A and B are shown apart, each in its own frame.
Chain A
Amino acid sequence: MKLEVMRYLPESDPEPRHQVYEVPYSDTGSVLEALQYIKDELDPTLSFRWSCRMAICGSCGMNINGVPRLACRTFLREYFPGPVRIDALAHFPVERDLVISAADFIAKLESIKPYIIPRVERDVSEGEYLQTPLELEKFNQFTKCINCMLCYAACPQYGIDPAFLGPGVIALAHRYNADSRDGAAEERMGQLHAEEGLWSCTAVGYCSEVCPKDVDPANAVNQNKMASALDYFLRFVKPGDKS
């Protein structure tokens, strides 16, 4: 089967190009295994990220025939008889071949404080922060995010304006905001209220379509728009701070 793989060697290529490789076809072979075959048997200069091979590390995201997917859970049989075109994950700067720079995503992820900031600080001796199953259910799906960034590659708004906070990071901000043990929602909402926050989203919904873990980031973004709009208008009727 033919694979048209994006190549970009920053020391010699002015821009990305595609190189065709012939790989052995098997019903059970994944795109990641095909890339590993190329690297081991045909061309050791090919670079790509991978780790777990089982859709949990989120490293092997790439655009396969134009669709953002994890290479490890995408099978050659879906594209038989080929060819398959493999590009680096869309919208991100390409470092080398299929390796993209995730710096922008990581910076945004850090900025929303993706960890529990307790409502009331407790000492270890006071025991755990308890939570009911119903309270867990409110945010459980958003905890499944593996930071694979497929949703960013799917989002045309992020492609047009990389300042957009983006689906994955907003889903994780919502994950902590909706956690009954957390008390820092107000801090995080500042960023979400901004134009580059929730309001850059035009409800395309493709982020949720490509998400390999059914996180449904479009739901996290769009349900917060209502909260954000209410927050904006309620300022005018609430006593106190008018800033």
Chain B
Amino acid sequence: MNVRRPYVRRMEPGWWWKNAFLLRYMIREMTSLLVAVYAFVLLAGVFALSRGDAAYRQWLDVMANPWSVAFHGLLLAVFLYHSWSWFEIMPKTLPQIRLGGRRLPAAAITWGGLAATVACCGILLGGTLWLTR
């Protein structure tokens, strides 16, 4: 007997949980939510600044709270992972880059991107410190 009855399997809700590669991908995606959360924290600061000196100082006090400092520490770790995860897949997003007749290896793109980011952050931080000295 020859019966055709193709069986379609549905993806399980926890499909990303059992595979280390997919778990890392989901962590990358979920860390972006915390990036968004921190954007709102900074926006609140800008909003407080627009409402005057007292409001801004109050926001700064909230930021200096030990819970807030711990939250910033956690976010720093999350942001570092988030940034790394994107630079890790950066070679996938670029066409072949040739230097001196040779194809630039993926690791060079990842580390080059990271180095450029660190340099930009350094310039931004240095510039800010210089302007507010």
Chain A residues in 8 Å Cβ range of B93 = 203, 219, 222-223, 225-226
Contact of B21 among A138, A209, A223 (CB under 8 A): A209
What is the chain A residue whose CB lies nearest that of B15?
A156
**Is A11's CB under 8 angstroms from B15's CB?**
no
**Is A101's CB under 8 angstroms from B6's CB?**
yes
Chain B residues in 8 Å Cβ range of A29 = none
Beta-carbon contacts of A139-173 to B below 8 Å, as 1s and 0s? 00000000000000000100110000000000000
A113, chain B: closest CB distance, angstroms: 22
**Is A66's CB under 8 angstroms from B1's CB?**
no
| Number of B interface residues in the complex (CB < 8 A) | 25
Beta-carbon contacts of B2-18 to A below 8 Å, as 1s and 0s? 01111111010001101
| Cβ of A109 under 8 Å from chain B | no
Q: In chain A between 180 and 214, which residues have their CB closer than 8 angstroms to a CB of chain B?
A: 202-206, 208-209
Chain B residues in 8 Å Cβ range of A226 = 93
Contact of A208 among B3, B92, B94, B95 (CB under 8 A): B92
| Cβ of B44 under 8 Å from chain A | no
Query: Assuming A206-B25, A208-B92, is B7 touching A94 (CB within 8 A)?
Result: yes
A33, chain B: closest CB distance, angstroms: 26
Q: In whole angstroms, what is the CA distance A223 to B16 when docked?
A: 25
Contact of B1 among A11, A137, A209, A218 (CB under 8 A): A11
| Cβ of B65 under 8 Å from chain A | no
| Cβ of B118 under 8 Å from chain A | no
Chain A residues in 8 Å Cβ range of B95 = 223
Q: Point out residues on A near B: beta carbons under 8 Å.
A: 8, 10-11, 15-16, 66-67, 90-91, 93-95, 101, 137-138, 156, 159-160, 202-206, 208-209, 216, 218-219, 222-223, 225-226
